[in-house]
Amino acid sequence: MLLTRRAAFASLAALHAHAQQQPRPNILWILGDDLGPQLGCYGHPLVNTPNVDRLAAEGVRFTHCFTTAPVCSPSRSAWNTGVYQTTIGAHNHRSHRKDGYSLPDGVRLVSHRLRDAGYFTANVTQITPELRASGKTDFNFKTEKPFDGIHWNQRAKGQPFFAQVNFTAPHKGPQWPLARKQPNLVDPAKVELPPYYPDHPVIRDEVANYLDAVNNWDRQVGILLNELNKDGLLDNTVIFVFGDNGRCLLRGKQWLYDAGTHVPLIVRWPGRLKPGSVRRDPVISLDITAATLDAAGIEHPKLFHGQSLFKNAKPRTEIFTARDRCDMTVDRIRAVRDARYKLIHNFHPNRSYSQFNEYIRNSYPALTVIQTLAKEGKLNELQARWVAPTRPEFELYDHQADPHEVRNLAADPAHRKTLERLQKHLAQWIEETADQGRVPESPETIASEEPRANVVK
> In the prediction, which pLDDT does 16 show?
43
Query: Are 189 and 160 found together in one domain?
Result: yes
Query: Are 263 and 155 found together in one domain?
Result: yes
- Asked if the model's pLDDT at residue 455 lies above 90, the reply is no
**Residues 143-193 pLDDT 10s:** 999 999 999 999 999 999 999 999 999 999 999 999 999 999 999 999 999
Query: Are 58 and 183 found together in one domain?
Result: yes
Mean pLDDT for the chain overall: 94
Confidence of residue 449 (pLDDT cuts 50, 70, 90): confident
**Residues 345-378 pLDDT 10s:** 999 999 999 999 999 999 999 999 999 999 999 9
> In the prediction, which pLDDT does 444 show?
83
> In the prediction, which pLDDT does 407 show?
98
> In the prediction, which pLDDT does 450 show?
58
- Asked if the model's pLDDT at residue 290 lies above 90, the reply is yes
- Asked if the model's pLDDT at residue 142 lies above 70, the reply is yes
359 falls within a domain:
no
Query: Are 65 and 169 found together in one domain?
Result: yes
> In the prediction, which pLDDT does 231 show?
97
- CATH code, domain carrying 417: 3.30.1120.10
371 falls within a domain:
no
63 falls within a domain:
yes
Q: Which of 269, 289, 316 is the last residue of a domain?
A: 316
User: Exposed, middle or buried: residue 180 (CB in 10 Å: 0-12, 13-18, 19+)?
Assistant: middle
Q: Which amino acid is at 60?
A: V
228 falls within a domain:
yes
- Asked if the model's pLDDT at residue 233 lies above 60, the reply is yes
Q: Which amino acid is at 218?
A: D
Give the mean pLDDT of 275-279: 98
- Domain span holding position 403: 323-351+390-449
- Whole-Å CA distances, 349 to 255, 264, 353, 384, 438: 14, 31, 9, 16, 16
| Stronger pLDDT, 124 or 10, i.e. the higher one | 124
380 falls within a domain:
no
In percent, the amount of the chain with pLDDT more than 70 equals 93
Q: How many domains does the chain have?
A: 2
Query: Are 189 and 291 found together in one domain?
Result: yes
Query: Are 42 and 186 found together in one domain?
Result: yes
357 falls within a domain:
no
**Residues 302-312 pLDDT 10s:** 999 999 999 87
**Residues 382-396 pLDDT 10s:** 999 999 999 999 999
Whole-model pTM?
Answer: 0.93
- Asked if the model's pLDDT at residue 403 lies above 50, the reply is yes
Confidence of residue 15 (pLDDT cuts 50, 70, 90): very low
> In the prediction, which pLDDT does 121 show?
98
- Asked if the model's pLDDT at residue 11 lies above 50, the reply is no
CA distance 347 to 428: 16
Give the mean pLDDT of 438-442: 94
> In the prediction, which pLDDT does 153 show?
97
Give the mean pLDDT of 128-137: 96
Give the mean pLDDT of 223-228: 98
Point out the least confidently predicted range of 60-69, 323-332, 440-449: 440-449
